[in-house]
Chains A and B, each alone.
Chain A
C-alpha cells in the first residue's frame, strides 16, 4: 500500500490478509490463491503488508474491550490515512469486525467477504471456472462460518461460488442459519476447550463426513484449521480434503501453478 501511495495511485480494493492469512502455513495458500485470482482478473488491489495488524477480533470476543479498541483505533488510523474505501478479506472474523465494529470507532468502509467478491466475479463472467472439469460430479459440502452466516446473513454467496464449479453440492444436517460452529469462534482458537465429552470440531467433522463429500469447503481460516484437525483425527485426510473456496476457484481456473 505504501508503494502505491508513493506512486500516487489508489487501489480499487484493499485486500485485508489477516493474521491467519499472513502467518498460518496452511492458510497462506488461501492468501496466494486469492491473490492469483485478483491478478488473473486484473483488479487493482493493494495489501497493507507490514502495516496491517490484527483487527482485534479475538480480544473483543474474549471480553478484552480495551485491547480491541487499541487495535481498532490504530488500524483505523492507518486505513483512513490511505483513504481506503473498499476492503476485501477472506477471514469472516476480520470481515465482521471491520464491517460492524469499526464504524462505531470512526472507521467506515465498504467491507466485502471474499465469497461475495468471488460470486461477483463469476456473475460478471470475469472468472469462468474453465468448464468445471476439475470438480464435475465431485461431492462438496460447505461449512457455514458463524461470523459469515448467522452474524452477517451471508449464506448464498459461497454456495453460488461452489455451484459454479459444477460440483455436487451436498448439505450437512445443520447448515445455513442452523449451522454448527467449528469450535474456534469467540477466541476459542487460542485456548483449550472447556471440559466436555467431545470437542466441537470433531462433532462438526463427523457431520461433514456423514455427507460422503470428498471436499469440505470453508470460507474461514479458523474453520479450516478446526475441520482439518477433525478430518485428521478421523484418519480421513487421504480421502477428504478441506479447501477454502478461493483455492477451489483458483485450481478450477488452473491458477495454482
Chain B
C-alpha cells in the first residue's frame, strides 16, 4: 500500500521533471531560431574534446585555484546525483536507503558523498567570498554584470550550501535514530557520525522531524534548482556538454566562407559560370548577422552555455586597454535578445541586465541584436586575436558572432569606419592595403644581389 507521501512525492517528481522539459523545449526553439550549420569533422575528435574539455574540465586549469574549487563542486554534483537517485527511489517506493543492498560499495559511496558534500560547502563559501568580499574583477565588473547577474551567482552558491546542509541534517538524524533503536544503519557517514556523536538528544519525534525535513528539503530543493537552471547562468552544467561536442575543430584562424558570394564572383570572373539556383522556397540570406536569426544555432547555443565567468573579457586585448568590447557581453546580449525575440524559458524573465540601471554602452531604439544590444564601436574594437575563444572553458566561439555582425555592417550597410573603406579602396586598386603602386612590388630586391652575384 503506497502511502499518501509516496503519491505526493510521485506527483511532485512528475511535475518538476515535466516543468523542466517544458522549459527545455522553449530553449530548444530559441536555439532553432538560428541558421542551419553543417557539422563536419570526425566524431572521434568530438568525443575526445567532450572528454577532455567538458568532462575533464581541461580549460579550467589555466587558473588552478578556481579549477580545484570548481572541480570539487563538479565532482560533488556528479557523485551526489547517485544519492539523489536513491532519494527518488525511496520517495516513490517508500523504501529507506534503497541502494544499501550494495553493501561495501554503498558504504564507500556514502562516505565519498559526505566528504564531497563537506568540500562543496567549503568551495561555495570561498566562491561567495571571491564574489562578494574580494570582488574578483572579472566576476563583478563590466557593463554586462548587473544586479541580476550578481544575484544569480549568489543564489546558486547559497542554494548549493543549503542543499548540502539538508543532506547532513538527514544523515545525522538518521544515524542518531538508528543508534537509539539499536539498529545498524547501512553505509558509512564520516561527517554525520561526528555530528551525531556531538548531539545528545533522545527526542525521537524531534529527530524524526529533522530527518524528514532534511530529506524533503534536499529533494524539493533539487527540483526547484532544476527548474531554476534554464533561467540562470548555471544552465552551463547541462549545456557545456553539447556545446563542447559541437565546438569548432578547424584552426581558429579559419573563418567561414560565404558561398553565395563565391558564386557571384565566379560568375563575374567567368561569364559562362552558372550560379546554382536556390532550392525552392528558400529565400536569399542577407550577408552577415543583424539579429539572432542570422546567427547559426551553434552561436545561439553558445549563448545558453555561457556561465558569465568573464575569462574571455579578462584576456581580450581591447577590453584590457579600456575599449568598449567585452566578448562576454556579446554572448549575454545574444541570449537576452533571443529570449526577447523568442520565448522565456521560465515563468519569470530574469535574464535581462539591460533593464537595470543606465547602460554604459549606448544602444539605439532598434530592436535587433546589432545596434539594439551590440554597438558597431564594440565590434570594431576586435583584433580577431582569438584570445576569448582560447580562454572559454566551454568552447564558446565569441569571435564568430563578432565577425558575422561585422560582415553585416560592411556588406549590407557599407558602414565600415572610413579608414577601413580607404583600405578597401587601396586593395581594389593597388592589390595592397596601402596606397603603393603595384609596379613597386619588387623594389625590395634592388641592389640585393650586387654583392653576391
Residues of A bordering B, CB below 8 Å: 17, 19, 21-24, 28, 31-32, 35-36, 39, 47, 49-50, 52-54, 56, 58-67, 69-71, 73-74, 77, 96, 99-101, 104-105, 146-147, 150-153, 177-181, 183-200, 202-204, 257
Tier of interface size on chain B: 35 or more
> Does B427 contact A67, Cβ atoms closer than 8 Å?
yes
Q: Is B188 an interface residue (CB 8 A)?
A: no
Interface positions of B (Cβ within 8 A of A): 62, 250-255, 257-258, 261-262, 264-266, 269, 287-288, 315, 317-318, 320-325, 377, 380-387, 389-390, 403, 406-411, 416-417, 419-420, 422-424, 427-428, 431-434, 436, 438-445, 448-449, 451-452
Taking the closest CB of chain B, its distance from the CB of A201, in whole angstroms, is 9
Q: A100-B250, A190-B433 are in contact. Are A105 and B420 (CB under 8 A)?
A: no
Q: Is the CB of B410 within 8 A of A101?
A: no
| Other 13 A-B pairs with CB < 8 A, given A100-B254, A189-B433 | A50-B439, A62-B406, A63-B403, A65-B257, A66-B265, A69-B258, A69-B262, A101-B255, A178-B62, A180-B387, A187-B420, A190-B433, A195-B323
Query: Chain B contacts of A36 at CB under 8 A?
Result: 448, 452
Asked if B432 and A23 sit within 8 Å, CB to CB, the answer is yes
Chain A positions within 8 Å of B431 at CB level:
52-54, 71
**What chain A residues lie within 8 Å of B432 (beta carbons)?**
19, 22-23, 53-54
Bound Cα distance from A64 to B427, whole angstroms: 11
Instruction: Tell me whether B383 and A62 are in contact (CB under 8 A).
Output: no
Closest B residue to A97 by beta carbon equals B253
Q: Let me know if B416 and A200 touch, CB within 8 A.
A: no
The count of A-to-B residue pairs whose CB atoms sit within 8 angstroms is: 216
Would A150 and B386 count as touching, CB distance under 8 A?
yes
User: What are 27 of the A-B contact pairs (CB < 8 Å)?
Assistant: A17-B441, A23-B441, A39-B452, A53-B432, A58-B423, A61-B384, A63-B407, A63-B410, A64-B410, A64-B424, A66-B264, A67-B427, A77-B269, A104-B257, A150-B387, A150-B389, A152-B252, A179-B387, A180-B320, A191-B380, A191-B423, A194-B318, A194-B324, A194-B380, A195-B323, A196-B322, A200-B317
Assess whether B265 is in contact with A203, with CB atoms less than 8 Å apart. Answer: no
Residues of B within 8 A of A71 (CB): 427, 431
Complex: A233 Cα to B381 Cα, angstroms: 21
Most buried by A among B287, B320, B325: B320
B327 to chain A, nearest CB (A): 13
